[in-house]
Structure 1
């Protein structure tokens, strides 16, 4: 297969995948809305990480670090060094979210692992009885601890799976449950494709009452040009208990030292939805540390700030310059001194 045929075939497959994502999402534009209020552990559906959220939350076919594994477990399969990630968010209604992850590669194998933790504090509220009389204040908080494993198959495919223990405290009522994540990613050339399921199976149990988790199914397509530092991603998501959405994001990295990001999220079938809106972000790295900032602007005019830190323990911690292995390979040349030749110089012939 010639180079032109390869790119044409890759383009057609990618265009077909993107079209299928959009059609499926549009066809289910009102699916899941009737299930609003029937799930537990809903804080899990907010997402975390300044880098991903500043790109509109589009990452299912792009993620290549420990942070990306929180969206698609298969993203962990591309991590080649130990990483630690921390994220902080000031949410609406004086709520806050703290998220962290640590993971890496198992020796020189193609297996990766990670442990994660997320905490969300929603402050305190005043309780009232049926007569409107105050019953005192009560606090609301949520937490999840998880573990993820991913395996790389060849140079193009990764599979990942994870489990989470989830707890919630709603004043005097406490809930607990277990749920799972799973995903697959495929990369070929400059294109990537991912499918993920979040909060799959399991129930949150509050005493004698049980509620299923806010399951979400999504697919994403990504494009990466290592030479220019440009990355583009588009995702489509179909949640169990909310409107389907389409997300798009763009990132441009300058010499692996600075990153500029923007994105957009659109909730389908819900005009004026507060989750619809643009996103913006910046990033900067030095040695083994990378800092990220994201701002999410809602359609109602409010906004959220996201901060993130990432540490690599075996190299530069900025966005990988070449996530799709677009490295140059030696070229054959019949002429000594050919400037297009890449590789060590040829040895001089011996004089007889």
Structure 2
């Protein structure tokens, strides 16, 4: 591809990105916060993955690993080797969040697969009746188990879809439901574009009630400079039952061994919202192993610590990425590509 073709493709991608963001903003301008309190399984909207959250949650047009697929299913389409990702977070009120994903490529095809699990333990609570007398303690927990498929089309486009089963428990009350994710990503030169839908469709079923999931539609753009290791990402999100938000993040990678990250999330229309605020993070790794740390400072002054572990199982312990062992082949004795002196011919015995 010559410079003129590269420039035209880049301009088309940027124009498409601007159009998508404009349409998404116009379509969701009046939706969201008026539906607050009408959805269930709201733990799905918190998000996981320390790398993404350290960049303010901006990843829809940027992510290309298994962890990013929890935000945009199309990110799975860039995964080349089997991978395992683990994420841990200590949230407010002694709440713990655990996320895990495992997946990879289907042989030599363009298809990728992944299975994921999300667990949130909200701890124990003391129940009281109308008079204030204790009725004992009870626990609350949430869980989601899902599967995803993604496909890469050519070198520049990926599409992904996912489904997940969701279960909630609050003392003796339980609820369940199934919901879906989908996404599209395009990359051209240093630019990237992503569109994603999370928790779309389906309902949470309880004994005497049915609730919608906290769905979200978003779009993002990114820019990468491989010469300096600098990456920039900006997302716009339009949830069905909360304020729309804008997220921006930056990452600087040094020799694929150390990463420094920062970002900011702004909830539009809500001053000092608990979800608004700056984020920071660092990551480091070698030979297919990578550790990530993120710190989120909320609008009310509280902070969250996020930890993540990424393992590229096709390259662990192989510093050169040669997970396929070379095999010996027979060569002609006079092959000029052979290194070393020629092997002498065996002498004939009389």
Give TM-score scaled by structure 1 length: 0.86
C-alpha displacement of 1:16: 6.0
Query: What SS does the corresponding residue of 2:47 show, helix, strand or coil?
Result: coil
**Which is worse superposed, 278-287 or 2-11?**
2-11
CA distance in 2, matches of 1:38, 1:136: 28
CA distance in 1, matches of 2:27, 2:64: 30
**Which is worse superposed, 101-110 or 24-33?**
24-33
C-alpha displacement of 1:130: 3.1
Query: What SS does the corresponding residue of 2:187 show, helix, strand or coil?
Result: strand
Query: What SS does the corresponding residue of 2:167 show, helix, strand or coil?
Result: strand
Query: What SS does the corresponding residue of 2:159 show, helix, strand or coil?
Result: strand
C-alpha displacement of 1:93: 1.0
Q: CA RMSD in A?
A: 1.8
CA contact (8 A) 2:20 2:219 kept: no
Is 1:308 matched with 2:308? yes
Query: What SS does the corresponding residue of 2:10 show, helix, strand or coil?
Result: helix
Give TM-score scaled by structure 2 length: 0.86
Distance 1:25-1:133 versus aligned 2 partners, 3 A rule:
farther
Query: What SS does the corresponding residue of 1:17 show, helix, strand or coil?
Result: helix
Provide the residue aligned with 2:336 in structure 1.
none
Query: What SS does the corresponding residue of 2:43 show, helix, strand or coil?
Result: helix
Provide the residue aligned with 2:215 in structure 1.
215
Provide the residue aligned with 1:268 in structure 2.
268
Query: What SS does the corresponding residue of 1:104 show, helix, strand or coil?
Result: strand
Higher alpha-carbon Rg: 2
Is 1:47 matched with 2:44? no
CA distance in 2, matches of 1:18, 1:289: 36
Provide the residue aligned with 2:153 in structure 1.
153
C-alpha displacement of 1:13: 4.2
C-alpha displacement of 1:10: 1.9
CA distance in 2, matches of 1:256, 1:316: 15
CA distance in 2, matches of 1:303, 1:22: 32
CA distance in 1, matches of 2:41, 2:176: 9
C-alpha displacement of 1:275: 0.3
Is 1:110 matched with 2:127? no
Is 1:284 matched with 2:322? no
CA contact (8 A) 2:6 2:189 kept: no
Per-residue Cα deviation, 1:213-245 (whole angstroms, up to 9, x for no partner): 100000010111112111111000000000000
Provide the residue aligned with 1:247 in structure 2.
247
Superposed counterparts of 1:1-352, under 5 Å: 3=3, 6-7=6-7, 10-11=10-11, 13-14=13-14, 17-18=17-18, 21=21, 24-25=24-25, 28-315=28-315
Per-residue Cα deviation, 1:180-222 (whole angstroms, up to 9, x for no partner): 1001111111111110000011111111211111000000101
Provide the residue aligned with 1:325 in structure 2.
none
CA contact (8 A) 2:61 2:194 kept: yes
C-alpha displacement of 1:8: 6.1
